[in-house]
Structure 1
Amino acid sequence: MGNALAPVFTWWNGATLGTHLGLRGKRRVGEDDLGNVYYEGGRSVDGTPQRWVIYKGSNDASRVPPEWFSWLHKQLDDVPDRSMPQPRAWQKPMVPNMTGTPLAYRPHGALEKGGQRPASAGDYEAWTPEG
């Protein structure tokens, strides 16, 4: 499938054409460090403003930083850039869940690392009746 038709048919890598059409008339309120774009507009059944995220890249909720997650779930009234304090020097930047990717954490002994790990004092020894 060519790149021109991808937004019409694919939902797993960004937003479809239908999603972009549905955002007409909605207000773009911000963008996070990963390039995800956030929108607000209209009202839900309970009268609160509706909020959306359009992912840059794969549609994975773990790619939404905590401050924007709070905004999406109406824990913050205003966008994080205006309502959250500046990050502290000791805070690390948000990292998406890397499970299932080549960047996933694999401890010593994982099959992807050769399946060998150093021996440990608590290693299992099978019982044999001769022993």
Structure 2
Amino acid sequence: MSVLKSIFTWWNGATPGIHFTIARRGRFVGQDDMGNRYFEARDDRDSYDRGRKRRWVIYKGYADASKVPAEWHGWLHYTFDEPPTAQPLPRKAWEKDSIPNLTGTIHAYRPKGAIARGGERQRATGDYEAWTPE
């Protein structure tokens, strides 16, 4: 089943076409803490802009752009010339670790009163008066 998934779905990992293209045209640059792997083209032949080498990410598991940490995001979008493996991005003391978007998962935030949490909430205070037509 996983072979069929890799052939027909792009959101469950890279397709065979991407693996072929990267094996033929790219070189491995590095891997982040989440297991995503990053690649860069060997030359700018298939680039959108001449002089810039094309860059790719192969997600580990489900393809979700929020799984890319800030330092790799900057490299993918040409904000940084050197990848974080060659020149790490300095971290500030107040910065938090990158976490993927958890919306739609069992780990998503559900405030009190949310339907997914039972829909129970405190009763409204007495300062609200509902409008009624005359």
Task: Pick the TM interval, shorter chain.
Answer: 0.7 to 0.9
1:125 offset after TM fit, Å?
2.9
Q: TM-score, normalization: structure 2? A: 0.84
Q: Tell me the residue number matched to 1:102.
A: 106
Could you tell me which residue of structure 1 aligns to residue 65 of structure 2? 61
Contact 1:99–1:105 under 8 Å retained in 2: yes
Distance 1:88 1:15 in 2: 33
Structure 2: tracts of 5 or more residues without a match: none
SS of match in other structure, 2:71: helix
Residue of structure 2 equivalent to 1:4? 3
Residue of 49, 52, 59 corresponding to 2:56: 52
Relative to structure 1, is the Cα distance of residues 55 and 129 closer, same or farther in structure 2, using a 3 angstrom cutoff? closer
Number of matched pairs = 129
* Conservation of the 8 A alpha-carbon contact between 1:108 and 1:116: yes
CA RMSD of aligned residues (A): 2.1
Please report how far the alpha carbon of residue 6 of structure 1 lies from its aligned counterpart in structure 2 after TM superposition: 2.4
Please say if 1:16 is aligned against 2:15: yes
State the partner residue of 1:84.
88
Paired residue secondary structure (2:75): helix
Q: Match for 1:99: what amino acid? A: T
1:126, CA displacement in angstroms?
Answer: 1.1
Question: Could you tell which deviates more after superposition, 101-110 or 117-126?
Answer: 117-126
Task: State the percentage of identical aligned residues.
Answer: 52
After TM superposition, give the deviation of residue 107 of structure 1 in Å.
0.8
Once the two structures are superposed, what CA deviation does each residue of 1:19-59 show, in whole Å capped at 9, x if it has no partner?
Answer: 10010241100001110000001311422111000000111
Give 1:31's aligned residue.
Answer: 31
Which is further off, 79-88 or 116-125? 116-125
Query: Can you give the 5+ residue segments of structure 1 that lack an aligned partner in the other structure?
Result: none
Any conservation in 2 of the 1:76–1:83 contact (CA below 8 Å)?
no
Please say which of residues 118-127 and 23-32 is displaced more in the overlay. 118-127
Q: CA deviation at 1:129?
A: 6.8
